[in-house]
């Protein structure tokens, strides 16, 4: 599929999605949301993709928010439908079963901050600015910002960012737990790639189950979450990945995990493509 507002490439088991509207500070319009849905489906089906990196084109913005020209024309009905569509796409990213790393290279405001929140891990350039400024436009976050922000950073932080609409620095975002690490601008994408490579070399099935344990367990009482974790741990013990990982440790060598699923060999190889 040809993408108008995105760039997508996969190399060495790492897929990189770049929102490519630098003249609009990578603002999310309807077409971009549709293309995000399509590229996520492509990445989900490609067994050669182990990890995703999400970033923005240019030096100014990750994603600076929604397209205000479209936003200004919305009615109550179309506004709700737009929010639900965006929520569905970001939920797809969050539940893809493959880790995602947001490489926040500039403004991550409104929908941009919400896109980063839907990723598994967030890395930011020291020049990045993050926030949920929707109240300044007379609206509220619509792509999950009020929900994910409160769960990740707590209600106090969510109230402050969503009610004041103010931007915060990358360092402040790291302090409150919104981003994991902060890098100099030139170091951001190499750092994201290095982290993605570390994840991609681990067992794919184990990585997926760890993500499931964290995501689903966080919504359970702790005792139920521990039981769920134990069940998934038991599942791991039946896999070829577990046999290879433990044998490699005993033989004092690096584990050789491949693209073979526990239930069936996919045979998928690496791909290189640019759209």
223 as an active site residue: the answer is no
Per-residue pLDDT at 189: 98
β-pair type (168-169, 6-11)? unpaired
Which of these is catalytic: 134, 229, 241, 260? 134
Per-residue pLDDT of the chain (275 residues; tens, 9 = 90+): 689 999 999 999 999 999 999 999 999 999 999 999 999 999 999 999 999 999 999 999 999 998 888 888 999 999 999 999 999 999 999 999 999 999 999 999 999 999 999 999 999 999 999 999 999 999 999 999 999 999 999 999 999 999 999 999 999 999 999 999 999 999 999 999 999 999 999 999 999 999 999 999 999 999 999 999 999 999 999 999 999 999 999 999 999 887 544 333 333 333 333 33
Gap between the Cα atoms of 173 and 192, Å rounded: 17
Per-residue pLDDT at 273: 33
114 as an active site residue: the answer is yes
**Which domains, from first to last, does the chain contain?**
6-200 (3.90.226.10), 204-250 (1.10.12)
Asked whether the beta carbons of 29 and 67 are under 8 A apart, the reply is yes
pTM score: 0.90
Which of these is catalytic: 35, 42, 114, 260? 114
Per-residue pLDDT at 69: 87
Asked whether the beta carbons of 206 and 255 are under 8 A apart, the reply is no
Asked whether the beta carbons of 161 and 148 are under 8 A apart, the reply is no
Gap between the Cα atoms of 130 and 122, Å rounded: 12
């Amino acid at each position: 599929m040809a993408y108008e507002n995105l760039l997508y490439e996969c190399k060495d088991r790492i897929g990189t999605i770049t929102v490519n509207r630098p003249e609009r500070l990578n603002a999310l319009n309807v077409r971009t949301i549709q293309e995000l849905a399509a590229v996520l489906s492509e990445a989900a089906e490609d067994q050669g993709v182990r990890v995703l990196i999400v970033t923005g084109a240019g030096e100014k913005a990750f994603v600076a928010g929604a397209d205000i020209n479209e936003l200004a024309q919305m009615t109550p009905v179309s506004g709700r439908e737009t929010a639900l569509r965006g929520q569905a796409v970001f939920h797809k990213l969050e539940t893809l079963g493959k880790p995602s790393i947001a490489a926040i290279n500039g403004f991550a405001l409104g929908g941009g901050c919400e896109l980063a929140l839907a990723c598994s891990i967030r890395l930011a350039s020291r020049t990045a600015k993050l926030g949920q400024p929707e109240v300044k436009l007379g609206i509220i976050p619509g792509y999950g910002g009020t929900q994910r922000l409160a769960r990740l950073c707590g209600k106090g932080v969510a109230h402050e960012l969503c009610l004041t609409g103010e931007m915060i620095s990358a360092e402040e975002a790291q302090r409150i737990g919104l981003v994991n690490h902060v890098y100099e601008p030139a170091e951001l994408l190499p750092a994201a790639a290095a982290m993605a490579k570390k994840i991609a070399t681990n067992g794919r099935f184990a990585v997926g189950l760890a993500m499931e344990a964290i995501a689903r367990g966080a919504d359970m009482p702790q005792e139920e979450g521990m039981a769920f974790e134990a069940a998934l741990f038991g599942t791991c013990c039946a896999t070829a990945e577990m046999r290879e990982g433990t044998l490699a440790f005993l033989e004092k060598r690096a584990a050789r995990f491949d693209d073979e699923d526990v239930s069936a060999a996919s045979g998928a190889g690496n791909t290189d493509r640019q759209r």
